Structure formats: C-alpha cells, structure tokens
Structure 1
Amino acid sequence: MALPTAYLTSAKNLKPILEAMQTAQAPDKFTTRFLVSLGFSSSSDRLIIGVLKALGFLDQDGKPTDRYYRYLDQTQSEKVLAEGIREAYEDLFKIRTDAQNLSSAEVINKAKTLSQGSMSESVLKKFSLTFSSLVKLADFSDPVLVAGSPASVTEDETEDSTASEVEKSPSNPKRQTKSSLGGLHYNIQIILPATRDPAIYDALFKSLKEHIIE
C-alpha cells in the first residue's frame, strides 16, 4: 500500500516551515535541531521530518535528496512538491488522477478503503489534514504520463510501427515471396516499378505464378 504513515497533527506551520527551508542553506542532515534553528520548536512541528521523508525530500537518515535541492529553486518548488505528493500518495492518485481535488471527507473515505480499515478515525483525520494541506501548496498543472498513453510510446516503438505500416502499404513497390524447388527453399524479392497502372502488376504476378511459384 503506497500510503504514507507519517502525518501532521497541525498544519499551522507547514507553509512557514517549507518557506524557511527555501531560504536556508540545506543541512547535511535535517534534524530537530535544524528545525529549531529555523524557528520551529514545538513537538507538532517535528512531525514534518517524517512527512519530508515520505515526500522523498529526505532519505531515511534525514539527509536531503535531489528533490530537496530542486525544491529550493522557488521557480519550480510547487511542481517539485506535487511530484513528491504524487509519489508519496500513489494509491490515492491511482484511484483519482486528480486526487489533489478530493475533499477532506473524500480523502478520509479513500484512505479508509485503501488501508482496509487499519487506520483509526483520529489517524484518518490527521492523514487527510496533511494531504489536503500539502496539495494547497503544490502545482499539479504538469501532465502525468500514463503507461500505454500515446505520449508514453517510445521512439523505437514508433519507428517499428512506421516500418510495419510501410511494409503493408499498397503503394510500396517492394514485394517478397517464397518458392520451393525440390528440397530447397528460396526467398525471392521483386522490386516492382513505380506505377499506378494495375495491369502492369497483374501481368507481373501472373508471370510469377506461371514460371516460379508453380
């Protein structure tokens, strides 16, 4: 189940903490001491560390990741946050690709189903509070590629498809046939003239049938 177990009990300082992170030099390790240095010392503020780990901003040792450093760029920070939210709350986005638009009540109901009832009502409310507060600070405008969608087809697949269509095209003058003489098998390729006159093709294939295939 791709639902984070980390959550906030209060989202009052969520935005200020994230803004403080952007203006401060990234630490070697994000600790409660670093959080205090940013001006946030309450026990509820410390829960942000677990949330940042869930979002992929910190590794399990508390060290900033590439996503953390990208978040420091305020021109793309909201999109980076959206990226982390989609990853952390993957199962919600599998149910609704626009899960960021779910109401708090809807988030609770979806989480209750996904967790198979393992979350208490208190935890569900805090889970919803955390998710709903995070998505308000993120930019989800960038499209998400879905496996199997036209945008996700690789270049090689496109080339293979194009080649296949060329071979099937009636305007392609190249034809291939097989012939068997005795115990031997031959692959014969015939380069047909570029013409729109069907009579020429009919005559060529009639001759092929009489003298080679049969």
Structure 2
Amino acid sequence: MRDKTTYKKIVAARIRELYSELFTINVEIYKDNEANIKGAISRVTGGDEDSVKRVYSTFKALCNIADFSQSSIESTPAEMPVQEQVVTSPQVTVAPSPKSTEFHYNIQIHLPATTDISVYNAIFKSLKDNLML
C-alpha cells in the first residue's frame, strides 16, 4: 500500500485470491448487483442474513479501493512485499495412457444454515439412498 501507483491493482489481486470462491461463480462479481453478490456469498458461506450482510459490506468496501482493470490478475514480484518469496517447483506432466479413461464427478452440497439436526440427517439419508450403488 506504500506504492501509490500499484496498490489498487495489488488490492484487486488479493481480493480475487481471498474471495476466490465468489470469483469462481462470476469472474466479474465485483460488478454485479447487491442481490446477486449476497446470493453468491450465502451459497459459499452458508451463513445467516447478518453474516452475509457483513461479508458483503467488507467485500464492497475492498472493491471500492481496488482497480480490477488490469488484465493480469497476478501481482508481479516487484509488487510483492519484501518479506514474501516466491518458490516455484518444476511441473511434471505425465501423459495419460491411451487405453485408460477415467471419469470423476464432484458433487457440491450447500447445506442450509439451521440448528435442527434432523434437516441434515434427512439430506444425508437421501444422499445415501440415492447415490450409493
């Protein structure tokens, strides 16, 4: 924040990092309307209305400081504080065997915010009954 020429872009990069789940839902969520942002926050956090309002207020306050106009969202090493060191490791890629094909399914369940344990029991019982082979 000391460098007045780059701090807004650095703040934008850190917002994208900190709120990465929101940016997964919408890459330009900082431009979206209040209802859509609060809906995304609610889905990600599962929090109650007051929690969602607090997260939304913080998110919008940070977005008002940030400059998202930069095409590259990563900060360069010159923009990083002196204490941080970037360590990169070589990437090794293994070509998949042409004879094997694997399918993976990731299922996300957004549980409602409730103190009634029977709601959770019913959800997981239904999952067990319908998804287990």
**TM-score using structure 1 length:** 0.33
Paired position in structure 1 for 2:23: 93
Of 11, 17, 22, the residue aligned with 1:81 is 11
Counterpart residue number, 1:136: 64
In the alignment, which of 72, 93, 98 is matched to residue 2 of structure 2?
Answer: 72
Distance, in Å, in 1 between the alignment partners of 2:24 and 2:5 is: 28
The residue that corresponds to 1:64 in the other structure is none
Q: In 2, are the aligned partners of 1:92 and 1:99 still within 8 Å (CA)? A: yes
Q: In the alignment, does 2:39 pair up with 1:109?
A: yes
Q: Give the Cα–Cα distance (whole angstroms) in 2 for the partners of residues 137 and 84 of structure 1.
A: 12
| Cα displacement (A) at 1:79 | 0.3
Letter in 1 for 2:35: A
RMSD over aligned CA atoms reads 1.4
Shift of 1:101: 0.6
- The structure with the greater share of residues assigned to strand is 1
Partners in 1 of 2:49 and 2:72 — Cα distance?
32
Q: Report the Cα offset of residue 86 of structure 1.
A: 0.4
Alignment of 1:4-83 (within 5 A): 71-83=1-13
Query: Separation in 2 of the partners of 1:140 and 1:86?
Result: 9
Larger Rg: 1
1:102 is displaced (CA, Å) by 1.9
Query: Separation in 1 of the partners of 2:54 and 2:8?
Result: 22
The runs of at least 4 consecutive aligned structure 1 residues that moved more than 4 Å come to none
TM-score normalised by structure 2 residue count: 0.51
Gaps of 5+ in 1: 1-70, 146-214
**Secondary structure class of the residue paired with 1:83:** helix
Give me the whole-angstrom Cα distance separating, in 2, the residues matched to 1:87 and 1:136: 16
Count of paired positions: 73
Provide the C-alpha distance between the structure 2 equivalents of 1:128 and 1:109, rounded to a whole number of angstroms: 10
Percent identity, aligned pairs only?
30
In 2, Cα distance between equivalents of 1:139 and 1:78:
5
Instruction: In structure 1, give the amino acid aligned to 2:71.
Output: P
| TM-fit CA distance, 1:144 | 4.1
Deviation at 1:104, TM superposition (A): 2.1
